Structure 1
């Protein structure tokens, strides 16, 4: 059972770091530090969007419109934190 918990925590950590990279990259693109005309930047951005959009889309449907402010990554981070707490308390307590 601990192996399953370790795998779940690993997947949650990977999702966490992908989301962090997506947020930082979006800031750098919006502030003009990264240029989307560079092929490697465009490929990285497209890859992160393809990975994270399926997770962000249901969150965006539920959240109210806030103009230019996207709160989906924040809700995603909160969801990952809650999932980590559930996994840790379910599998690691009581041993």
Structure 2
């Protein structure tokens, strides 16, 4: 069985980790109001939701899990988590 081999197992783990990262980023983007994106000086909420939603859909489609487009969307999800989300979290009322 191919999944029991080390490369198959590593590929499966990477697939699910990236799926979880993209799902978390998408849900996080949906949770913040559109005004928060403007106040933080970041790209708009519909823009981030569209990009992260496409990233999630491309991760689930089994056609080409390691394509250049999927890689670009993966980078976009990491950019959101590293740059946009902390800026949005800094705007929360206390």
Q: TM-score range by the shorter chain?
A: 0.3 to 0.5
Which structure has more relative contact order (CA 8 Å, sep 6+)? It is 1
TM-score by length of structure 1 reads 0.43
